[in-house]
Structure 1
Amino acid sequence: MSLIIGVQEYDWLQIYEAQGQRHRDHLDEIFAALTECGIEAWEQSVSSAEEAQRLKTLLGKHGLKMPSMYAGGSLHTQDWQKSVEQILQQARWAAPLGVNVVAVNPDPLSWGKVMDKTDGQLKQQAEAMQNLGERLTAEGMALAYHTHDAEMRAAAREFHHMMLATAPQHVGLCLDTHWIYRGAGNSQVALYDIVKLYGSRIRSLHIRQSHNGVWAETVGDGDIDYQPLAQQLKAQNFQGPIIIERAIEAGTPRTMSGVEAHRRSAEWVRQVFAF
């Protein structure tokens, strides 16, 4: 297969936020940097037709692809239909950009507090994901369920229910490796159990690395051994994008520019995931 290496906008959001600026005001220079790094794809959310048109122009200018987009919404409440319609509209705006994978992270009860959804809310959310997946399939796109660490709490009941209560042909997985690893208590065993259970449903990857539990400056060798994942994806003829999602937290080294960090990350990904 042809390896598609992309980057998620969150890293660049952090880079420009540290300078008191909005990264989306600098997409032209960001895209130029990505081309310099050997990265060929970009992933972000799309909130309007105007934004999609601007993206189309800039992506074309720099020869970049956008095979996947990111979205979220409140899918565990009684008015989940409203969020489904909003995500569908965002996907329709993004479709002319070449988007065929829609990575959706259902909203948690709180982004800043440890709060778990009830069984009733989980059932409602799974129904919403199934509905959204069926409708995206009908429009020629694939839904990929994305998570952070919260979904791994309480025996990972939220994660597993979203996978087991939905149809594989309509709800795939955006495997965010490090959030699963961290959410399971820095467990590579848990990560690879999930890959074993649901590997055939992986539609896209978000990859990050850490050293002793702290996010690394680049995606490379570290706490997570990516070789088994690369081997499985090769065996199943994985066709989705591999999205680099570096991130900075307390303790993350800052010894190089964002451009250099992405260049090194892309080189490593290309070596490890060389199919």
Structure 2
Amino acid sequence: MKSNRRQFINSAAMLAASALLPENVFSKGNINSFPISCNQYDWITFYQREGKDWFSDLDSSLADFASTGLKAYEPGLNTVDDVKKLLPLLQKHKLLMPSVYVNSSLHEHDEGQKSIQTVLSIADALKPADTKIVVTNPNPIQWGGQQNKSDAQLTEQAKNLDLLGAELRKRGMTLAYHTHDVELRAAAREFHHMLLATNPQNVSLCLDVHWVYRGSGDSQIALFDIVKLYGTRIVELHLRQSKGGIWQETFGEGDIDYKLLISRLKEMNVRPHWVLEQCLEKISPKTMSAAEAHKIDLKYVSEIIF
């Protein structure tokens, strides 16, 4: 899915949204400042299963999204034009956008500099929405490939990630590092280096819980060790559940003990932004529509985190 911007800024809806987004959303005691959000990707997977395209009529798609009671949307953005197309639709459907997911490629110098400028231009275009968190998952060498980055590439990527985070801080935003399973290969060297070689003030963590679980061989031990090591850097959680290793249609009880995870985070006084991302895979159950599933998701998450 990557307007009038002046109208968007001046709208009553946007003023109301801004009131919900205080300047320092991560201060202690400021619990759950954002409403529960949902990433666009899981909606894409539901729509694809039904032979539909999420982006062919984004207005209608976001109406479906809003019908569930969800109040916040986390899109994936690639260009400034993506932002411009999205802003008036968010206003129309009374949806907030406290966080966004933006692609980046940071392990080579020249490509990294171009990627940083692209992300920053998107961040500047997001000012009307008062977005606070920019999530990025630096590209692997090849999606689906088996080649790991070299030490030199990891060094370059960490340097660029820290630079990007520092620039976003100047804009009042927080950079949240995200991973899939590839970063957990080879003793999780990529995952650990991105956090150990960057300044915590510049680079926070978006913990995609199930990708860490799956990337560690379906290990809750590894997942909770990562929470113990880096929990204080978590500003956002991507929420997905499986049963027997298979992604389910709805978020609820399953392989990962989310109630224990939430308890551990509360013990650390960590209050992240909660983002549903209950995606489907080919072998997932097929019993309900996207809207039906997300109503169940929202109810369950609301019960366990508040």
Q: Which TM class, normalised by the smaller chain length? A: over 0.9
Instruction: Report the Cα distance in structure 1 between the residues aligned to 2:88 and 2:247, rounded to whole angstroms.
Output: 33
Letter of the 2:199 counterpart: A
- Match for residue 203 of structure 2? 171
Could you tell me how far 1:257 is from its partner in structure 2?
0.9
Alignment deviations for residues 110-169 of structure 1 (CA, whole Å, 9 cap, x no partner): 112211111111111000101101111111100000000000111111000000000101
Gap runs ≥5 in structure 1 = none
State yes or no: 1:224 paired with 2:256: yes
Q: Which blocks of at least 5 consecutive residues in structure 2 are unaligned?
A: 1-30
Aligned counterpart, 2:245: 213
Q: Which position in structure 1 is the counterpart of 2:298?
A: 266
Match of 1:56 in 2: 87
Counterpart in the other structure of 1:245: 277
1:193, 1:163 → 2: CA distance? 14
Partner residue, 2:217 = 185
Q: Which residue of 2 aligns with 1:118?
A: 150
What is the distance in 1 between the residues matched to 2:223 and 2:114? 33
Q: Does 1:196 align with 2:239?
A: no
Change beyond 3 A, Cα 1:21–1:216: closer
Letter aligned with residue 67 of structure 2: E
| Deviation sequence 1:96-117 (CA, Å, 0-9, x none) | 2221100010000111221111
SS at match of 2:251: coil
Question: CA, structure 1 residues 114+48, in 2 after alignment: closer, same or farther (shift >3 Å)?
Answer: closer
Which AA in structure 2 matches 1:224?
I
Q: Tell me whether 1:46 sits opposite 2:77 in the alignment.
A: yes
> Offset of 1:34 from its aligned partner?
2.7
Query: How many residues are paired up?
Result: 274
Aligned to 1:74: 105
Look up the equivalent residue of 2:99 and give its one-letter code: S
How far apart, CA to CA, are the structure 2 residues paired with 1:236 and 1:54? 39
Distance 1:225 1:244, change over 3 A: same
* More displaced 10-residue stretch of structure 1: 16-25 or 92-101: 16-25
Partner of residue 120 from structure 2, selected from 79, 84, 88: 88
Q: TM-score, normalised by structure 2?
A: 0.85
In structure 1, the partner of 2:96 is 65
